Every structure is written in structure tokens, then in C-alpha cells.
């Protein structure tokens, strides 16, 4: 049947099961927004109008991370498109599947420095799995289908589709094509095979599986390290839990692996790396076999690659061949989807136990946490966990509050921690929390943020108020850029250059200006009372928590130092 391309776009989104889109309109994309008002599409696809395109990009990302489905974001040309780039890079670094759809100026205006013209495909080439410039309406349907397949397949990631404005006026033939038929549809199947080699992940080498099993048999002090790849691989967490329970060895996690091993599990040593626990960092220093699954050994994990796990044989399991030996040399590796690799391991892995090794690892206790009249970060996280039964989805921005959240909230399932681990994006949290709540309406969603980060995205309060998206925002308010100040205190001779936030706004009054309830807390009792009221209300709240300006994240290893050289103990 003949359709105009905006209608083809809507039909293709429905084919993919899209029910929510985040975005912001502008001149070039108006034909697509107009289509939302036609043919009943706005009844089938919810559009959330954010305050800024970056907020829309993070919301689509948060939706994807928390649901495992592909997020979708719309933006116009020029500054609308470039405002997405931080969100695109954030999704790319953390392997989050999002399709970004923009509309550029018309064909006759390309290359002429036209009003709001920008080469967004060129700009985003390094931060997308794939991107497209659509020049013909006839190509639109298959490009959309291909984009979704690439975003969700193999190692997930963002894809951008830029459509020329003149194409949005054109018609083309459209025939419905269920997702299950894509690889059997001649032209589309050829496009999919040509576009990405990892759409169908190859079977792991069974010889590589056996070699790891042999290495496990020889090991006396094994350590398992879980990363975000296990979270991203559908069904992998279930297989991962079978694996480490049968191995019965200590398990450490990167921040992106949070929730793969329950935070209160008897084998869990905690986070590893720059702000890793004593147990995790000493275990990686002394283990004789390190099995890293879905982990790329970033500089925040392997703070000093030359000495990282220097007493161990290192095994890296990853879906992406380019990650192998990129940061840390390995003794063995297995290429494949984490779920499938773990399935094959579990078929043959006998039960093990390492009582002496575990006793030694878990003898490395953390410093006792303070309890007094002021409000401490761990008390905030412990209260959130207690009140919500540990079931809340926690979104964070980036900084001290992010590390405290990873340390003190015991995540128990994948998609429960929504954080920018790879790109470290301040301003990510509120948009991501909106997306997580839209994708999980029955779950309590809490944003843990700092006063510095919250200033970067607080305009999205208008979005959560307008759409009645109930998010509880907890501000760790130390009146400074806390993590930067921590570095200045420890490394830069207490020269606190440009980190004091000795200015407004009053966050409670700001919340009230947007029609949202606000509260302040100066101690644990005040916070618990406010937080319980927020949960029971079922509405959005902003709780401004006054914490010590000099509160620090413990432990800390300096960048470039071995993992056991604790700068802050």
C-alpha cells in the first residue's frame, strides 16, 4: 500500500513493539510530529515531551536499560540533533540499545550551511553502532527495521537515523513485516547481513570452553569478575548465578555489573577498582585465576594494568572481539554471548569449594560506618533499601553519590541500577529515571543525585510533573562538586579550585515552583520520615539531604596505582 514516509515510520515503530518515544519537535521534523496526530498513532505510541533534547536522549536510554527493550528518541535538525550527542555517547559507552531519529534539512539545502543544518551522521559516527542518512522514502522501512536489529543484536548499542526533510513529504510502498520475518525477507535480510557481522553471534568455541574448565580444575584461588556484559545479555544473569554458585568462589563486580550477583550474597565481595572494596581489591591482587565475564577492564577497574591480577591467569569472556587484550593482556579468552558461554560452562562444571581462600578474602573487612547526629550517605542508602524492601530501581548521576549508591544499596536484579558507567555523564540521572519509570510503572524509581549534577537536569522537573511520572529525587547535598573536591583534598593539596557550590537554588522551593513536593533532611530520622511519606504518596518528591561537605568515598585507589595501594582507607 502507498503511504507517506511519516506514516511508514509510525507503522515500523509499531512493528518493533515501540510504545513510548521521548523527544522534542522542531521545524524539520514537523511532518513526523504531525503524523502522531493522524491515524490514531498518539493512542498507540506515547510521546513524552522533555524540556531538552539531552533529557529525551537519557530518558530513552533509561527506558532501554531498565526494560531490555530498544529505546526511541526524536529530535529535529541542527542544535536539536547535536543536543543528543552526549546521550548517544552515554548509551554507546554502556552498550544500551537506543534508536535516535532526527530529520535534517532538505536535499537541496544540504552542504550550503543552511539554517539548522548539521552533518549529524558524521558527528555521531564514532559513537553509534551504525547510522544512516535516508535520502529516499523507498528505503525508510527497511532502514528502520535494520536499525532496530542492529541496536538490539550482538553487543547492543545506539543507532541514529537521519531523514532528509523532503523525504518526509514523499510516498512509498509499505507492507507490514513482523520482526520474526526480517531475516527471511530477501532485500532486508541482505541488508542485515551486510550491515553488521555480529547480528547473529557465533557459537563459542567449545575447545575454549573446555580449556577454561581445565584452568578451573587447576586453580586454588579463583575470583569471578562480572561486568555489564552479563546485564546486557538477555538471560545471562540466570546462567551466571548458576555458574558462580557451582564454582563457589568469591565474586566481584564492576559498577555496570551491579545486580548480576545479589549485593547481599555470601560470595559477593563488592565493587572492584578505584572505589572497590578491600575484599575485592585484595582478592584480585592475590587470586590465581581471574574469570572476567562481560568486563572490558577500564581504567576505573584495572587502575594499574601492569600489576592488575599479576598473580593470576586472566580469562576474559566477551561478545566483542575488539575488547580482548585491549586494556589488560589475557591468558585465555572466549568470544561469545555471555548467556551462551555460561550455558556451556554450566553443562560440564562440577561443584567446587575453596574454604580457605574464601575465609582469607572475606577477612578483609571495611571500615565501620559512622552513626551519629549528622546524616551520612550510607544511612540514606540503607533507609531507601529498608523502606522499599531493596526492590527500588536506583538511577544515579555521576560522582560521590554514584559510588555510595553502588556500595551501600544491595542490587538484586539486572536493570535495577541505572547509571552512566563508561562516559560518566553528569545530568544523566533525571532523564534516565523518567525513562525507567515509564518502562516500569509498577516499580518505585529513586534518583540519587548530587547538588552539582541536579543543577544540570533539574529543568526536567517540569516533565515529571506534567506527565505525573512519580520519581523520588534524593539530593546528596554537600554544597560542592564532591568527587572533584575529594581529588583536590587528597591529590591537589586542598586547593579547592572552582568546586564550591556556594549559590542557589533552594531545591525545595525549586521543586515547589514546578508543583512538586519538597522536603529537607539533616539527620537520618528526618530523611526516613520524608522518604516514607514520598513512597506512600505515589507522587514525585525532591528530598534535599544535607551531608558533610568533606564526606568522602571510602576506599579510594589513585588512578594509575595498583589496586591495593589505597590512597584513602
Nearest to 291 by CA among 271, 319, 314, 310: 314
For 51-89, the pLDDT digits (tens) are: 999 999 999 999 999 999 999 999 999 999 999 999 999
Least confident of 61-75, 313-327, 358-372, 386-400: 358-372
- Assigned fold of 2-195: Rossmann fold (3.40.50)
Which residues are designated catalytic?
A: 53, 115-116, 165, 483
The yes-or-no verdict on residue 10 having pLDDT over 90 is: yes
The yes-or-no verdict on residue 146 having pLDDT over 70 is: yes
CA atoms 455, 456, 459, 461: torsion sign: negative
Contact 410, 385 (CB under 8 A): yes
Domain segments of the chain as ranges: 2-195, 206-361, 377-553
Identical fold between 2-195 and 206-361: yes
The yes-or-no verdict on residue 195 having pLDDT over 90 is: no
For 432-491, the pLDDT digits (tens) are: 999 999 999 999 999 999 999 999 999 999 999 999 999 999 999 999 999 999 999 999
Task: Report pLDDT for 30.
Answer: 98
- How far apart are alpha carbons 88 and 82 in whole angstroms? 10
Question: The domain at 377-553 falls in which architecture?
Answer: 3-Layer(aba) Sandwich (3.40)
CA atoms 264, 261, 394, 42: torsion sign: negative
The yes-or-no verdict on residue 200 having pLDDT over 90 is: no
Grid coordinates representing 515 are 508543583
Summary mean pLDDT of the chain: 95
For the domain spanning 206-361, the CATH number is: 3.40.50.1220
Record the pTM: 0.95
Nearest to 336 by CA among 355, 321, 315, 358: 321
Q: Give the chain's end-to-end CA distance (angstroms, integer).
A: 68
Pairing of β 171-173 and β 159-164: unpaired
Contact 486, 556 (CB under 8 A): yes
DSSP secondary structure letters along 282-320 = HHHHH-SEEEEES----TTTSSSTTTTTTTSEEEEEES-
Pairing of β 445-450 and β 2-4: unpaired
The yes-or-no verdict on residue 181 having pLDDT over 80 is: no
Question: Residue 378, class by beta-carbon neighbours within 10 Å (0-12 exposed, 13-18 middle, 19+ buried)?
Answer: middle
Question: Residue 289, class by beta-carbon neighbours within 10 Å (0-12 exposed, 13-18 middle, 19+ buried)?
Answer: buried
Omega cis (within 30) before 204: no
Q: Per residue in 326-341, is it b (16+ CB within 10 Å) or e — as a string?
A: ebbebebbbbbbbbbb
Least confident of 107-121, 169-183, 304-318, 320-334: 169-183
Residue 205's pLDDT band, with cuts at 50, 70 and 90, is very high
Task: Report pLDDT for 373.
Answer: 84
Cβ neighbours, 10 Å, residue 451: 23
Residue 334 phi/psi, 5-degree rounding, is -130, 125
Amino acid at each position: 500500500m502507498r503511504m507517506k514516509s511519516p506514516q511508514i515510520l509510525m507503522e515500523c515503530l509499531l512493528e518493533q513493539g515501540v510504545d513510548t518515544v521521548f523527544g522534542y519537535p522542531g521545524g524539520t521534523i514537523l511532518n513526523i510530529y504531525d503524523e502522531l496526530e493522524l491515524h490514531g498513532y498518539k493512542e498507540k505510541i506515547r510521546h513524552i515531551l522533555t524540556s531538552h533534547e539531552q533529557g529525551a536522549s537519557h530518558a530513552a536510554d533509561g527506558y532501554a536499560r531498565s526494560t531490555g527493550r530498544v529505546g526511541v528518541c526524536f529530535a529535529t535538525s541542527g542544535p536539536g540533533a547535536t543536543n543528543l550527542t552526549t546521550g548517544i555517547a552515554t548509551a554507546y559507552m554502556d552498550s544500551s540499545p537506543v534508536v535516535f531519529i532526527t530529520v535534517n534539512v532538505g536535499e537541496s539545502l544540504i552542504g550550503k550551511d543552511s539554517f539548522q543544518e548539521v552533518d549529524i551522521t558524521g558527528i555521531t559516527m564514532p559513537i553509534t553502532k551504525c547510522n544512516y542518512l535516508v535520502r529516499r522514502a523507498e528505503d525508510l522501512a527497511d532502514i528502520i527495521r535494520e536499525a532496530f536489529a542492529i541496536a538490539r543484536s550482538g553487543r547492543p548499542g545506539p543507532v541514529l537515523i537521519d531523514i532528509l526533510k523532503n523525504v518526509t513529504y514523499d510516498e512509498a510502498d509499505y507492507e507490514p513485516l513482523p520482526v520474526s520475518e526480517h531475516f527471511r525477507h530477501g532485500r532486508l535480510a541482505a541488508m542485515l547481513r551486510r550491515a553488521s557481522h555480529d547480528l547473529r553471534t557465533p557459537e563459542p568455541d567449545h575447545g575454549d570452553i573446555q580449556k577454561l574448565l581445565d584452568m578451573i580444575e587447576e586453580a586454588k584461588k579463583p575470583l569471578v569478575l562480572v561486568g555489564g556484559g552479563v546485564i546486557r545479555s538477555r538471560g545471562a544473569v540466570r546462567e551466571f548465578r548458576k555458574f558462580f554458585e557451582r564454582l563457589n568462589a568469591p565474586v566481584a563486580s564492576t559498577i555496570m555489573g551491579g545486580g548480576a550477583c545479589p549485593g547481599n550474597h555470601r560470595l559477593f565481595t563488592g565493587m572492584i577498582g578505584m572505589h572497590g572494596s578491600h575484599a575485592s581489591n585484595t582478592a584480585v591482587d592475590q587470586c590465581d585465576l581471574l574469570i572476567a565475564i562481560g568486563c572490558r577492564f577500564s581504567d576505573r577497574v584495572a587502575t594499574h594494568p601492569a600489576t592488575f591480577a599479576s598473580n593470576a591467569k586472566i580469562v576474559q569472556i566477551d561478545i566483542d572481539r575488539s575488547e580482548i587484550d585491549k586494556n589488560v593482556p589475557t591468558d585465555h579468552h572466549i568470544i561469545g554471548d555471555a548467556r551462551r558461554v555460561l550455558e556451556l560452562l554450566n553443562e560440564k562444571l562440577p561443584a567446587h569449594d575453596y574454604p580457605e581462600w574464601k575465609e582469607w578474602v572475606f577477612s578483609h573487612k571495611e571500615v565501620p560506618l559512622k552513626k551519629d547526629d549528622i546524616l551520612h550517605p550510607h544511612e540514606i542508602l540503607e533507609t531507601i533499601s529498608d523502606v522499599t524492601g531493596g526492590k527500588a530501581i536506583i538511577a544515579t548521576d555521576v560522582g560521590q553519590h554514584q559510588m555510595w549508591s553502588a556500595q551501600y544499596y544491595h542490587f538484586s536484579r539486572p536493570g535495577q541500577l541505572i547509571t552512566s558507567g563508561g562516559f560518566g555523564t553528569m545530568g544523566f540521572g533525571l532523564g534516565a529515571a523518567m525513562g525507567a519509570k515509564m518502562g516500569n510503572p509498577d516499580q518505585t524509581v529513586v534518583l540519587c543525585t548530587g547538588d552539582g549534577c541536579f543543577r544540570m537536569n533539574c529543568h526536567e522537573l517540569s516533565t515529571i510533573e506534567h506527565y505525573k511520572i512519580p520519581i523520588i529525587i534524593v539530593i546528596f547535598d554537600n554544597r560542592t562538586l564532591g568527587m572533584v573536591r575529594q581529588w583536590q583534598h587528597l591529590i591537589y593539596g586542598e586547593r579547592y579550585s572552582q568546586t564550591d557550590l556556594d549559590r542557589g537554588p533552594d531545591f525545595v522551593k525549586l521543586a515547589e515552583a514546578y508543583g512538586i513536593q519538597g522536603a529537607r533532611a539533616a539527620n537520618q530520622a528526618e530523611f526516613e520520615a520524608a522518604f516514607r511519606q514520598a513512597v506512600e504518596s505515589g507522587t514525585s518528591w525532591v528530598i534535599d539531604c544535607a551531608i558533610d561537605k568533606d564526606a568522602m568515598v571510602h576506599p579510594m585507589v589513585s588512578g594509575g596505582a595498583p589496586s591495593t595501594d589505597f590512597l584513602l582507607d
